[in-house]
Chain A
Amino acid sequence: MNLTVAVWATTGAVFSIGLAIVVVRRQLLAMLLGLELMLAAVNVSLVHHAELYRDEQALAVVVLVIAVAAAEAVVGLSLILRLRRAGVAADTAQLRELRG
């Protein structure tokens, strides 16, 4: 076994579990946590790619993805809190239409 096998196995499993969380769970917060899981898995594979091929561009993409994920988490959490404050449950079964 080498490092590539270990990293790709971990990445695939964590990404799949994150995708399953997004698909299966109905709570918006849990879905957001699943998204964070998927992004972390992608970052691991990108960092390993950067180390394998001496690719600085992959590391730059990882840094940008980390920043975008942080911004996404902030916006998502504030939206969920706004929904909760409006008296709407943060549940995808009850959020069926977009309305201002």
Chain B
Amino acid sequence: MGNMPPEMIVWTAVIVGVLAVAFAGVMLLHRSLYVCSVCLLAVLLQTGVLFLLCGSPLVAFLHIMIYAGAVMVLVVVAVMAAGSDGGRFSDFSFPRPLAWLGLLVALMELAFALSKGPLLTTAVPSGLEPANLGAVLFKQYALATEAVTLLMFLAALAVVPDKEAA
């Protein structure tokens, strides 16, 4: 598995997993939707790192780009547009130690990725090439891929306001 020591991968996965569970726990316990959105973003970033540690940099890239990018922007905009019953930011009380811990770990992960990134990408198993993934998606699962494409098109239509709503 590449040049990276397996123990290092395991302990990085443990740290990332503990952080993901901690932020997910905050999502469960905190009332504010803003805090829940920020914590979901943190969990999604941690799962992206787990994908990378499992040896799938392509899926990690897709996950972070789609979830942590597009979907989270939609969620935050929806929370802002829907608002809450009280003041919009009145219940925004993020646990400060957890926020500093999350920021610290995010910076450490960034430094780790910048320094050890090439080692992580070499940990990709040889049998799981992106070309093989493309072959599975567009040959064996071509019908499912087309169905998902159609579903995404219909979902895009859902955000277009009709004349009555406008």
Within 8 A of B (CB), among A43-100: 43-44, 47-48, 50-51, 54, 56-57, 59-60, 62-64, 66-75, 77-82, 84-85, 89-90
Docked CA distance A30–B28 (Å): 9
Interface mask (B78-95 → A, CB under 8 Å = 1, otherwise 0)? 110111010000000000
Chain B interface extent, by class: 35 or more
Q: Are B158 and A84 in contact (CB under 8 A)?
A: no
Q: Tell me the dominant secondary structure on chain A's binding face.
A: helix
List B contacts of A29 (CB < 8 A): 33, 36, 75, 78-79, 82
List B contacts of A66 (CB < 8 A): 59, 62-63, 66-67
B120 within 8 A of A: no
Q: Are A47 and B59 in contact (CB under 8 A)?
A: yes
Docked CA distance A82–B44 (Å): 26
Interface residues of A (CB under 8 A from B): 1-3, 6-7, 9-10, 13-14, 17-18, 20-21, 24, 27, 29-30, 32-34, 36-37, 40-41, 43-44, 47-48, 50-51, 54, 56-57, 59-60, 62-64, 66-75, 77-82, 84-85, 89-90
